[in-house]
Amino acid sequence: MFSSKKFNRQLCCLFFSLVIPFTSFSQKGDKAKVVSELIARMTLEEKVGQMTNLTLSAITEPSDDPLKVDPAKLREVIVKHNIGSIQNVVKHAYSIEEWHKLINEIQKVSLTETRLKIPFLYCIDAVHGTNFTLNSTLFPHNLGLAATRNPELVKLCAEITAKEVRASGIRYNFSPVLDVGRQPLWPRFPETFGEDVLLTKTMGVASVKGYEGKSLNDFTSVASCMKHFVGYSVPANGKDRAAAYIPEINLREYFLPPFKAAVDAGAHTLMVNSGEVNGTPVHASRFLLTDVLRNELNYKGIVISDWEDIKKLTERHKVAENHKEAVYLSVNAGIDMCIVPFDFSFYNDLIALVKEGRIKEERINESVKRILDLKFDLGIFERPYVEKEAVKNFGLPEYTQAALAAARESITLLKNSDQVLPLKRDKRVLVVGSNANSLTALNGAWSYTWQGRKAEYFPKTELTILDALKKKAGDINIVYKKDFKDVTSAEAKPDYIIVALGEDAYAETPGNTKTLELASEDIEGVRNIVKLYPGIPLIYVLTEGRPRLIREIEPFAKGVLMAYWPGSQGGNAVADILYGDYNPSGKLPFTYPRYSGELMTYDHKWLDEAVEIVEPEYKYLYEFEPQYPFGFGMSYTNFTLSNLKLSSDQLTGDSKIKVSVDIKNTGQRVGKETVELYSRDHFASVTPSVKRLRGFKKVELQPGELKTVEFEISREDLAFVGTDMKWRTEPGGFDLIVGDLNVVLNYKGQ
Ligand code: BGC
């Protein structure tokens, strides 16, 4: 992998010496001045062109094998229609050289053939690494990153992504997803940081900081995009881009906080939810996009539509009679830039609306200012072409190490009966299931193609789980059967059987599913293996973007390893953990359901657990029995918690109290463990959840080592949204819980 990347870098240098001479355009100076002077000189058409975002195929030949710009289309887009930004790929990822050639070619036309020579901006989805540049480093998807409980590592992955995106010549990344993953059927669940608000907030902010760095002007940074504002992740039917019904009190309690935190962290752009909330498509919601986002959250950056979503106001949501009305509604609601993405419908209709006086030109100026400000911040006016200094940051060897660290820290050990794991190296292992020998099932969505299903674009050096197991234990010890039906008793008896289960890659709407149940062939296949090889320990490795139910076959397994979609180093990481070369430390970022009819998050209400039993006598109890709870994940060593203490058991006004707890590694191996602090409000005017995560810290401990972990708690940490839609903390008792330990804190009020 490295050698091919190195070769690529050499090619780049050669390329630069040929191309750079035309990088003469420069518009330096004070941002406010440059931007306001430009706006004053721009025609309405030039302004609306900045607000229009088209996809790459609008300027290329239909096939991208090879990628070829169509000069006539390019001029139609850039010169005739003044389009200010382009995004995406036609069908698949490109080499870094192809990216450079493409971006410089478009930029040259923007700078030499348009009236005002405003540079154009390229945008891309780089959602788990720079997934649309060949030979880039792919990391675990956000769901796996959340399982690491390691925000520093999440930031590092985002920093590397930013470097490889910028090295590709691109400066705007449509990531991270800040939708809280509270509906596991939703096909974009793997793009979320899981079901918890604090976890999503913390990892989301780490990601934004990693992408944006100290300054967008830096060669190592890209603009981030908070998406998808807001309420996308809980469609009532579990399908992508479907209707959600979210009472405002829940919207504020669970879905707005990650966006607020990312706005406060300085994220520069935001993408709108393609779905609808409470009967209003978010693209037409002035309440959400202006009243809440701008006026309450005080967001100053760009609001970009999602793909074709203004058209969908007419075609799918049926809230606008025709496209022009859809444009009117969405611009009025607060959209600055529209991903159209194939034609000039938005451009034409918006110009017409301004000319008719229905939308004021001042409103257009606001959006254009935000867009030009971003271009200025990204240094595009100053350095419009691919930056030589950025290119050298592509494909550095340490990125592979970071991908390995992230995959290892994400993988979550869910079962280890009789300490079946780690495996002994010289034993014979039968590996079953197509996911064991698949790069696409390791990398999931957005991996060199949108759906991630084309293995031919992956680096040739990347290892599947099977490859990595063979590398570690030797070919002779590993026997592979792709299909369950190929497993017969004719095999020499293995010492262990590893079954790869889960899902292959999918992205967005094509990933809709009607059920979380595993395919019946897989269930039957496992049952058959159990019959053929009674008593041989079975270990399941799950590579999946969302929890597939294993209830029926879980009792047969001695070991269960949840790998999520672990990315380019997933094969190595799984093998390292199975053979004990790495001690697992991942923690579930969601509640792993046992039944598809019981999809409950850990922070549900008491009422949700109530069970009434009628025979033989009436009684009621509380029951919540997911397959594996939120926060669960085992290690090859043991940790013991003790001494949970408060600096004071009384909290008043704006003061803070310290919560401390001791954690000791009582096992034989060095290991990492996450200490999670939960609170439980005894009584409140709005029904409290059974518990809420309030803090988490990951520590590494040598065998026998003890560390004291500290958290700070203030009244904000215990707050909830009241019926008046305002955050409040009510006086009274709160349990503070770490593991099985519990102390009571009394909040005395202001
Ligand atoms: C997705 C967005 C993505 C966009 C790129 C849409 O289909 O919903 O997440 O950023 O495509 O244009």
Picking from 545, 578, 611, the residue at the C-terminal end of a domain is 578
Instruction: Tell me the C-alpha distance between 560 and 554, whole Å.
Output: 8
**Average pLDDT score over residue span 181-203:** 99
Q: What is the DSSP letter of 605?
A: B
Q: Which atom of ligand 1 is nearest to the CA of 225?
A: 10
Q: Are 448 and 93 in contact (CB under 8 A)?
A: yes
Q: What is the CATH number of the domain that holds 658?
A: 2.60.40.10
Region 348-370: what's the mean pLDDT? 98
Ligand 1: residue whose CA is nearest its atom 2:
306
306 Cα–ligand 1 center, Å = 6
Identity (one letter) of the amino acid at 136?
S
Mean pLDDT computed over 202-216: 99
Tell me what percent of the residues of the chain surpass a pLDDT of 70. Answer: 96
User: Hey, which of 86, 302, 306, 509 would you mutate to test ligand 1's pocket, going by the most ligand atoms within 8 Å of its Cβ?
Assistant: 306
- pLDDT tier for residue 369 given thresholds of 50, 70 and 90: very high
Closest residue by Cα to residue 439 from 455, 450, 451: 455
pLDDT tens sequence across 435-454: 999 999 999 999 999 999 99
- How high is the pLDDT of residue 490? 76
Q: How far is the CA of 449 from the centre of ligand 1 (A)?
A: 13
Ligand 1 centroid – CA 315 distance (Å): 18
Q: Which amino acid residue places its CA nearest to atom 11 of ligand 1?
A: 307
Shared domain for 547 and 418, answered yes or no, is: yes
pLDDT of residue 492: 82
Domain end call among 578, 602, 617: 578
pLDDT at residue 584 tops 80: yes
Enumerate the H helices of 185-322 as residue ranges: 197-212, 248-250, 256-264, 286, 309-315
Instruction: Give the residue-averaged pLDDT of 403-419.
Output: 99
* 212, part of any domain: no
**Active-site residue, 306 included:** yes
Whether 644 and 570 share a structural domain: no
Nearest CA, atom 6, ligand 1? 307
Q: Cα(195) to centroid of ligand 1, in Å?
A: 21
Show the domain range for 704: 639-749
Q: Give the residue, out of 122, 125, 272, with the most ligand 1 atoms within 8 A of its beta carbon, to mutate for a pocket test.
A: 125
CA atoms in the 13 A half-sphere facing the CB of 49? 24
Strand, coil or helix: 675: strand
Q: What is the whole-number distance in angstroms between the Cα of residue 58 and the centre of ligand 1?
A: 17
pLDDT above 90 (res 365): yes
* Separation of CA 178 and ligand 1 centre (Å): 13
pLDDT at position 630, please?
98
Are 588 and 674 within 8 A, CB to CB? no
Out of 271, 274, 451, mutate this one to test ligand 1's pocket (max ligand atoms within 8 Å of CB): namely 271
Task: Look at residue 274 and tell me if it is in a domain.
Answer: no
Q: Using CA atoms, how far apart are residues 407 and 573, in angstroms rounded to an integer?
A: 6
- Answer with the residue of higher pLDDT: 255 or 11: 255
Residue 175 CA: nearest ligand 1 atom is: 10
Number of DSSP helices (H) and strands (E) in the chain, helices first:
21, 29
CA distances from 474 to 321, 426, 477, 559 (A): 65, 9, 6, 22
∠ CA 617-622-624, rounded to 5°: 130
Residue 343 lies in a domain: no
Q: Tell me if 694 is assigned to some domain.
A: yes
Q: Token pair for residue 674?
A: 């996450």
Contact 500, 432 (CB under 8 A): yes
Which residue lies with its CA nearest to atom 12 of ligand 1?
307
DSSP class per residue in 35-98: HHHHHHH--HHHHHHHTEEEEGGGSB-S--TT--B-HHHHHIIIIIS---EEES-SSS-B-HHH
Contact 645, 664 (CB under 8 A): no
> Is the confidence at residue 16, as pLDDT, over 90?
no
For residue 25, is pLDDT > 90?
Answer: no
114 pLDDT higher than 70 = yes
pTM of the model as a whole = 0.95
* Residues 428 and 532 both lie in one domain: yes
As a whole number of angstroms, the distance between CA 542 and CA 436 comes to 10
Are 547 and 686 members of one domain? no
Give yes or no for residue 326 having a pLDDT over 90: yes
Indicate the SS3 state at residue 353: helix
pLDDT higher at 19 or 42: 42
The residue with greater pLDDT, 6 or 684, is 684
Counting beta carbons within 10 angstroms of the beta carbon of residue 36, is it exposed (0 to 12), middle (13 to 18) or buried (19 or more)? middle
Nearest CA to 281 out of 233, 241, 247, 337 is that of 241
pLDDT at residue number 4? 40
The pLDDT score that the predictor gives to residue 28 is 60
What are the C-alpha distances in Å from 12 to residues 98, 99, 285, 389, 712? 10, 11, 45, 11, 49
Cβ neighbours around 736 below 10 Å, total: 26
Which residues are within 8 A (CB) of 519 and not within 5 positions of it... i.e. 6 or more apart? none
Confidence of residue 489 (pLDDT cuts 50, 70, 90): confident
Pocket of ligand 1 (CB under 6 A): 87-88, 125, 174, 227, 271, 274, 306-307, 339, 508
- Is 562 in the same domain as 686? no
Q: What is the pLDDT of residues 552-583, one digit of tens each?
A: 999 999 999 999 999 999 999 999 999 999 99
How many angstroms separate the Cα of 171 from the Cα of each of 87, 211, 233, 365, 614?
Answer: 11, 10, 27, 23, 63
For residue 655, count other CB atoms closer than 10 A to its CB. 13
CB 175 within 8 A of CB 192: no
Tens of pLDDT, residue by residue over 713-729, are 999 999 999 999 999 99
Q: How many CB atoms lie within 10 A of CB 224?
A: 30
**In this model, does residue 24 exceed pLDDT 50?**
no
Q: Provide the 10 A C-beta neighbour count for residue 692.
A: 22
pLDDT number for residue 750: 84
The CA distances from residue 28 to 22, 32, 160, 301, 380, in Å, are 17, 11, 28, 21, 10
- The DSSP annotation for 415-453 comes to EEGGG--SPPTTS-EEEESGGGG-SHHHH-SSSSSSS--
Q: How many domains does the chain have?
A: 2
Separation between Cα atoms, residue 104 and residue 110, nearest integer Å: 10
Tell how far the Cα of 307 is from the centroid of ligand 1, in angstroms.
6
The residues near 152 (Cβ < 8 Å, ≥ 6 apart) are 206
Of the candidates 447, 523, 430, which has an alpha carbon nearest to the alpha carbon of residue 482? 430
Using 50, 70 and 90 to split pLDDT, how confident is the model at 10? very low
CB neighbourhood size of 3 (10 A) = 8
Same domain for 520 and 644, yes or no, is no
Beta bridge partners of 277: 244, 280
d(CA 296, CA 263): 11
Asked if 196 and 233 count as a contact pair (C-beta separation under 8 A), the reply is no
Q: Is the pLDDT of residue 7 over 50?
A: no
* Statement: residue 11 has pLDDT above 50: no
Q: Determine the average pLDDT of the residues in 690-711.
A: 98
Within this chain, do residues 681 and 567 fall inside the same structural domain, yes or no? Answer: no
Q: How many whole angstroms separate alpha carbon 239 and alpha carbon 204?
A: 23
Asked if 380 and 107 touch (Cβ cutoff 8 Å), the reply is: no
Q: Which of 696, 692, 697, 695 is nearest to 729 (CA)?
A: 692
**Residue 678, class by beta-carbon neighbours within 10 Å (0-12 exposed, 13-18 middle, 19+ buried)?**
buried
Cβ atoms of 584 and 144 closer than 8 Å: no
- Rounded mean pLDDT, 594-616: 95
User: What mean pLDDT is reported for the chain?
Assistant: 95
pLDDT at residue 15 in the model: 41
571 and 653 together in one domain: no
The token pair that represents 619 in the structure block: 């009684």
Give 491's pLDDT tier (boundaries 50, 70, 90). confident
Report if residue 597 sits inside a domain.
no
Which DSSP symbol is given to 189? G
Q: Is the pLDDT of residue 387 over 80?
A: yes
Question: What's the rounded mean pLDDT across residues 458-486?
Answer: 97
Residue nearest to atom 10 of ligand 1 (CA): 174
Q: For residue 409, how far is its CA from the centre of ligand 1 (angstroms)? A: 28
- Check pLDDT > 80 for residue 1: no
Are 410 and 527 contained in the same domain?
yes
Band of the pLDDT at 2, cuts 50, 70, 90? Answer: very low
Is pLDDT of 188 > 60?
yes
Q: Which atom of ligand 1 is least distant from the CA of 177?
A: 9
Selection from 504, 604, 513 nearest residue 237 by Cα: 513
Identify whether the C-beta of residue 217 lies closer than 8 Å to the C-beta of residue 254: no
What confidence score (pLDDT) does residue 26 get? 41
Nearest CA to ligand 1 atom 7: 307
d(CA 163, CA 395): 9
Residues 523 and 652 in one domain: no
> Tell me: the pLDDT tens digits for 428-437?
999 999 999 9
Helix axes 151-167, 197-212, angle to 10 degrees: 40
Percent of the chain at pLDDT > 90 equals: 95
Chosen domain end from 578, 595, 624: 578
Residue 2: how many other CB atoms lie within 10 Å: 13
Residue 79 lies in a domain: no
pLDDT band, very low/low/confident/very high, at 27 (cuts 50, 70, 90): low
φ/ψ of 229, rounded to 5, equals: -70, 120
Strand partners, 660: 645, 710
Q: Answer yes or no: is 71 within a domain.
A: no
Q: Which of 64, 240, 306, 309 is catalytic?
A: 306
Q: With respect to residue 249, please indicate whether it lies within any of the assigned structural domains.
A: no
Q: What pLDDT shows up at residue 22?
A: 33
Do residues 571 and 647 share a domain?
no
Nearest-5° Cα angle at 85, 28 to 53: 145
Q: What is the mean pLDDT of residues 231-248?
A: 98
pLDDT of residue 14: 40
Ligand 1 atom closest to 339 (CA): 12
Task: Give the atom of ligand 1 at the shortest distance from the alpha carbon of 341.
Answer: 12
- My answer on whether 560 and 649 are in the same domain is no
Rg of the chain on CA atoms, in Å: 27
